[in-house]
Amino acid sequence: MAIKRLTVSIQEELMEKIKEAAGDESVSGWVSEVLTRHLEEREGERLWADFVAEVMARTTAEEEDRYQELLARDEVWRRHSEAIEAQRRGVA
């Protein structure tokens, strides 16, 4: 895979947090890993939303209410998992 250079401007405080979170890893490698994970999660969320939309198109109102409840729980779990991951990486 070819490596390309990308220059971005960020606040100094954020840069310091990134350096701390990267630890002994290169900042470039750490940022690449974080961005890759983020993009994969967004694609997974898009696929999940497509699946839910397809299922909901064939459900009753009662089933739809139950699906919405489960989706809300999924969102709570996702946010909880992100907070734990950020805390583990020292980004929180």
N residues, the chain: 92
Interatomic CA distance for residues 43 and 63, integer angstroms: 26
Distance CA 80, CA 49 (A): 19
The pTM of this model reads 0.56
Query: Residue 91: what pLDDT?
Result: 65
Per-residue model confidence (pLDDT) at position 71:
83
Residue holding tokens 């990308």? 6
Work out the pLDDT band at 72, boundaries 50, 70, 90.
confident
Question: How far apart are the C-alpha atoms of 58 and 82, rounded to whole Å?
Answer: 32
Compute the distance between CA of residue 31 and CA of residue 91 in angstroms, rounded to an integer.
12
pLDDT of the residue at 5: 92
| Across 24-51, average pLDDT | 95
